[in-house]
Amino acid sequence: MKAFSQLCEAIACDASENRQSAYLKVFLEQSNARNAAYALALVTGSFKVRPALTPALINQLADCTLDTALFDLSVEFTGDKTEAVALMWPHAKSEACAPDLADLVEDWQSTAKADRLSYLQKAMDTMPATLRPLALKVLRSARLQLLSAPLVWKTLAEVFNQPQELIAQVWQESGMPPEDLMNWLMEGGSCPLKGHVFAVGPDAPWQVLTPDEILTHKEKRIWYRPVPVGFYCRLLKGAFRNERHCTDEFQDLDGTRLLVMERPEFTAHLSEGAYHGVLTARQGSVTCSGAHIRQLLDRKKPPDVSWGFVPLWSTRAPEEEALKALGYSREVLHRSILPSNWHNSGLQAVALHAPCHPDQQEYEQAIWVSRPPYEVMAQVMHARFSAGLKTPGPVELSFGMPATQQMDSPLVPIGKARLDGDRSAFEAVSLAFSTHTLARFGPLRELRQLPETRLVFRLAFAEVLSAPRRKSGIQLTELRILKFEPDGMPTSLDDLRQDVRAP
């Protein structure tokens, strides 16, 4: 609790994000996972204590301990009853001890309603005087939004050496406080996400495409979903659960909770999880714009509005059936379809038009998604140099993989990819073929396979297709070079089939 108090005081008095991030790093060094989870949820405004400390209980606390006349004068001076109680409370008779932030919140939540007054008296008596104002403010569910969620994600990424996008995704999918996230980062547990955006393999989910990617992908891997007019937000389906019912939470794209007064109608049956989508609203026959919906959400008493939620994206939707359930359909794309307007609103919706049909100048905003590529390590077997061995230029490489994990297993061809622009990789390939060419077939050279001539590259591919006429029995689509791995070892075909469930 003491470290949390120092953090709040430091970041409240300093507007520099760099220094705020430095204060947060110091706090993380002094805190454990439980306290850090509660602290981050509180300083970002993502969590409020329920049940909250009520004004009636504050009055009872003051009446049973403080002088009434002096208390009234203090309230007039401070303007806040909670702060007046904290400042006027008598000093501890014994040595004060600072409670843990997590223990304070959880003990308060587990205390019966009839025992809350005595619990508060005991907590105030044993707590250092400097911590009492903040402790009561936390229990009162006062808004403590001192840091933005993206700044917290960035700081956590720097401290724990994890991708910021992954931390943001775990934060958004975790309930508040994010104990799963902090247990993973601070105690070395496993990542709470299964099949996150950085996964490689069959559990990798579909992800949103950019306009350039839309024009370069093949149509069989692209799915399309129209976007309605509304406010982009995030739904945590089943975010809070108790013995009686399960509730949902809406957040904006920065992670701030949205207060939706009435339960929206869902366009699809949604299981528990995190969904990106569009919050829609209708006033009579008028469809509200995103800016208008934002204004309605800020009002304490919004007018009569029919709310709806259209899910566009689920971070845990790795299968095509899940896309169909959300309303996606396959779309045939041609290069004549050009991106006409790019909306960078967090969900990256893009409007497209087809200039080859001048009579249909319709712009339709849509979400386009695709599965990320798989990766594999493969070894060079053949090369075709476009400008010779000594002149750097594009090289067409033929790759192979050992059939099994045994050291003496022969290489089996898996496909070709183009090497261009990597000077160090070209020099390594050129040196190997200049001294260890086994045979030549016109411009094509075959490399003698020796331990010192092993050239391993990291390759990316879209999917694995069955190809009975090929020696490997499979075909890797959209094969391309990612990186030269001088010290790498090739993946075996058996491992490849197991990792990507190849036919």
Choose from 53-67, 248-262, 333-347, 416-430 the range with maximum mean pLDDT: 416-430
Which of 6-15, 74-83, 375-384 is predicted with the least confidence, judged by mean pLDDT?
Answer: 74-83
Tell me what pLDDT residue 131 has. Answer: 81
Cα 322 vs. chain centroid, distance in angstroms? Answer: 19
How large is the average pLDDT for residues 412-429? Answer: 89
Tell me the pLDDT tens digit for each residue of 8-20.
888 888 888 888 9
Q: Please tell me the distance from the alpha carbon of residue 394 to that of residue 418, in angstroms, as a whole number.
A: 7
> pTM, whole model, 2 decimals?
0.45
DSSP state, residue 348: -
Q: Give 142's DSSP letter.
A: -
* Res 218: pLDDT: 53
Predicted local confidence at residue 409, as pLDDT? 83
Most confident listed range (342-346, 407-411, 449-453):
449-453
> By the 8 A CB rule, do 251 and 364 touch?
no
Confidence of residue 210 (pLDDT cuts 50, 70, 90): low
Instruction: Name the more confident of 264 and 192.
Output: 264
pLDDT band at 322; cut points 50, 70, 90: low
Give CATH 2.40.50.140 domain extents, the chain. 374-500
Q: What is the mean pLDDT of residues 389-405?
A: 87
Distance between CA 34 and CA 36 in Å, rounded?
A: 5
User: Is residue 338 very low, low, confident or very high in pLDDT (cuts 50, 70, 90)?
Assistant: very low
Question: What is the Cα–Cα distance from 299 to 301, expressed in whole angstroms?
Answer: 5
Give the pLDDT of residue 430: 92
- In this predicted structure, the answer to whether residue 194 has a pLDDT above a threshold of 90 is no
- Tokens linked to 61: 């606390």
d(CA 459, CA 454): 15
pLDDT(457) > 90:
yes
Which residues, other chains included, contact 255 with Cβ-Cβ below 8 Å and sequence gap of 6+?
44, 46, 149, 171, 172, 234
What does the DSSP 8-state code read for residue 380?
A: E
173-177, 466-470, 490-494: least confidently modelled range: 173-177
When the pLDDT of each residue in the chain is averaged and rounded to a whole number, the result is 76
Question: What is the model's pLDDT at position 428?
Answer: 92
pLDDT at 150 over 60: yes
**pLDDT of 358 strictly over 50:** no
pLDDT attached to residue 351: 54
Does the domain spanning 374-500 belong to CATH 2.40.50.140?
yes
* The pLDDT of residue 429: 92
Instruction: Look at residue 241 in the predicted model and tell me its pLDDT.
Output: 45
What's the pLDDT tens digit per position in 88-130? Answer: 777 765 556 777 888 888 888 888 888 888 888 888 878 887 7
Average pLDDT over residues 22-41: 90
Pick the residue with more confidence: 68 or 13?
A: 13
User: Where in 163-216 does DSSP place strands (E)?
Assistant: 207-208
**What is the pLDDT at residue 398?**
93
- Give the pLDDT score at 94: 54
| Higher per-residue confidence, 87 vs 334 | 87
Mean pLDDT for the stretch of residues 209-217: 60
